[in-house]
Amino acid sequence: MDSTKAGFVAVLGRPNAGKSTFLNTLLGEKLALVSHKANATRKRMHLILMEGNTQIVFVDTPGIHKQEKLLNQYMLKEAMKALQDCDILLFLAPITDKISFYEEFLQLSQNKKHILLLTKTDSVSKEVLFEVMCKYEKFKDCYEALIPISIKDLGSLKRVVEVLVKFIPQNPYYYDPEILSPNTTKEIAKELIREAVFENLSEELPYESDVQITLYKEKQNVHHIKATIIVHKESQKGMVIGKGGASLKRIGKEARISIENFVQQKVFLELFVKVVPSWSKERENLKKMGYNFED
């Protein structure tokens, strides 16, 4: 019998580099939060891909960005912890990005072994792709491989997996090979509700809004969930609720369908909205929301 391999792969990049979309496409499941809102991903999430006898545990991380607000500091800490703990890194660089973003990553990565992925390559011509790849060529001693990818080209994603397998060490499996994520269903449900909030109010609502699951009960054939959307101001509460409750109903419907698709059972979802002024700027409030700086 072949010996098993298992390892952790941190997926890194600036905000909106396409990390979560890449992972969801690769796994064929909507597990990682996808939003056009920068800094949507807040915490590390583990997503498992089995490739033959190899278990690849992808760690979806918040985008690497400058430390400003307290919540931003927490997210950068999450990204840096994943960077240090993993066996190999994937750095996603959109094809239209400045190379300076990659240079900043090199300063942070402390010579950690990594693969450089040029993303969104379907948005440019072959000539432009070749030019950009030539520009990154000067860093060839830094990365293990340079792979252009597009989520529309599943062959390019397969190449990423083939290269990754070579760098995964021999280990017993860390998780049951049958599961897609060790994160709890409750944690994933929270992310899917947050995604529905961002998708419906992306332009109007600051990314600091959040979701708190106050009840999660699994009964026979149905999941009962109560969740509260947290915002900073009364005006934001009005946006979330909408005229006659229309926005909240729309958010609830989209979130419920996403959760039902994931759990493969009926979901009864109740949503509430609460104003907590400056919750994302106070350490105690962040802790109550599950962002623990001491972890």
Q: Which domains does the chain have, with CATH numbers?
A: 5-167 (3.40.50.300), 185-288 (3.30.300.20)
**CB-count exposure of residue 73 (10 Å: 0-12, 13-18, 19+):** middle
Sign of CA dihedral 65, 70, 74, 77: positive
d(CA 226, CA 238): 19
pLDDT (tens digit, 0 to 9) for every residue of the chain, 295 residues total? 468 999 989 888 887 777 878 887 888 765 544 333 333 344 567 888 999 999 998 887 665 445 555 455 555 555 556 566 788 999 999 999 999 989 988 888 778 899 999 999 999 999 999 999 999 999 999 999 999 999 888 899 999 999 999 999 999 998 888 888 877 788 888 888 988 888 887 666 655 678 889 999 988 889 999 999 988 888 888 888 989 999 999 999 999 998 898 888 899 999 999 988 876 666 666 666 666 655 5
Contact in structure between 268 and 215 (CB atoms under 8 Å): no
Name the nearest CA neighbour of 81 among 106, 102, 54, 60. Answer: 60
Instruction: Provide CB contacts within 8 A for 5, sequence distance 6+.
Output: 53, 54, 55, 165, 168, 169, 170, 171
- As a whole number of angstroms, the longest Cα–Cα distance in the chain is 62
